[in-house]
């Protein structure tokens, strides 16, 4: 019988370069989908939602949402018969009912999270919860792979990679936020987002490009392809 490869040192941090790397990872995985999924999940947790589920594809998400009477958050057009919220962190935090269950299904963030099937732990990160994630990871050291969600949808969404590099440095005790922010602004990706999110883009960006706004550390637990979300902040790994 072959033996499993040993994990790297507990303080080692890397960034995934392709989806296969995430699927094979056995340590801590941290998903970054900066403009949408990461911030929306953080906002749902911060709002006090107790039942948050993540799906990698639309059909089971819609079915589960209907069964649970849940609010569905997605940038995907799920059809005229489906009542849904946009994948908007501002809407998740301020424009929806936190007493209701929530379902998230997205183009890149939820498939990225679902890919980490072998990971010992799955966290969700963005600039807005950088300090909370870094504090949690320092208190609970584990080999860590940061997964830019654009690997699962569109590699041109470079903000995920830029944010991943900044988080890698944050976990090492260095603050690279301002440089990362300038790089994202110069990439043209904010303007791209504006073109596709005409209703909420400015309010969303006010959250997305702010460091330390959230205290939540969303942790996703996968079971049969469904992710349930809890707040790992203040909880030992």
Average the pLDDT over 189-211 and give the result.
Answer: 90
Of the candidates 32, 39, 37, which has an alpha carbon nearest to the alpha carbon of residue 205? 39
pLDDT tens column, 47-105 = 999 999 999 999 999 999 999 999 999 999 999 999 999 999 999 999 999 999 999 99
Tokens 């790089």 belong to 183
Tokens read off for 224: 């049969």
Distance separating alpha carbons of residues 114 and 2, to the nearest angstrom: 26
How far is C-alpha 7 from the geometric centre of its chain's CA atoms? Answer: 24
Task: Please say if the pLDDT value at position 10 is more than 90.
Answer: no
Task: Please say if the pLDDT value at position 3 is more than 60.
Answer: no
Could you give phi then psi for residue 151, rounded to 5 degrees? Answer: -60, -25
- For residues 13 and 25, the answer to whether their CB atoms sit within 8 Å is no
Residue 235: per-residue pLDDT = 63
Task: Please say if the pLDDT value at position 4 is more than 60.
Answer: no
Distance separating alpha carbons of residues 153 and 163, to the nearest angstrom: 16
Distance separating alpha carbons of residues 57 and 11, to the nearest angstrom: 33
Radius of gyration of the chain (CA): 17
**DSSP type of residue 127:** G
Residue 193: per-residue pLDDT = 87
Torsion of CA 223, 75, 36, 18, to 10 degrees: 60
At 1, is the pLDDT very low, low, confident or very high (cuts 50, 70, 90)?
very low
In this structure, the number of other CB atoms found within 10 A of the CB of residue 225 comes to 12
Domains of the chain: 13-230 (3.90.1560.10)
Task: Please say if the pLDDT value at position 237 is more than 60.
Answer: no
Please state, in angstroms and as integers, the Cα–Cα distance from residue 111 to each residue in 4, 19, 64, 105, following that order.
Answer: 25, 10, 17, 8
pLDDT tens column, 24-43 = 999 999 999 999 999 999 99
Residue 9: per-residue pLDDT = 59
Distance separating alpha carbons of residues 135 and 115, to the nearest angstrom: 25
pLDDT tens column, 98-146 = 999 999 999 999 999 999 999 999 999 999 999 999 999 999 999 999 9
Angle in degrees, CA 144, 145, 148, rounded to 5: 145
SS3 for 18? coil
């Amino acid at each position: 019988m072959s033996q499993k490869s040993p994990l790297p040192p507990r303080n080692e941090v890397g960034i995934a370069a392709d989806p296969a790397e995430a699927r094979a990872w056995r340590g801590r995985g941290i998903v970054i989908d900066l403009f949408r999924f990461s911030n929306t999940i953080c906002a749902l947790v911060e709002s006090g939602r107790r039942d948050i589920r993540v799906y990698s594809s639309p059909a089971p998400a819609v079915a589960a949402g209907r069964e649970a009477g849940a609010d569905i958050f997605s940038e995907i057009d799920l059809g005229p018969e489906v009542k849904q919220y946009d994948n908007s962190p501002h809407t998740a935090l301020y424009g929806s009912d936190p007493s209701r269950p929530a379902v998230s299904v997205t183009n890149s963030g939820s498939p990225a999270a679902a890919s980490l099937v072998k990971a010992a732990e799955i966290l969700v990160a963005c600039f807005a919860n950088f300090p909370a994630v870094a504090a949690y990871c320092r208190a609970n050291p584990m080999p860590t792979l940061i997964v830019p969600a654009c690997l699962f949808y569109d590699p041109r969404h470079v903000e995920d990679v830029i944010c991943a590099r900044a988080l890698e440095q944050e976990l090492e005790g260095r603050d690279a936020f301002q440089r990362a922010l300038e790089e994202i602004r110069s990439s043209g990706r904010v303007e791209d987002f504006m073109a596709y999110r005409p209703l909420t883009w400015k309010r969303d960006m006010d959250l997305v490009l702010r460091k330390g706004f959230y205290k939540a550390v969303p942790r996703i637990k996968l079971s049969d392809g469904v992710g349930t979300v809890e707040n790992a902040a203040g909880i030992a790994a």
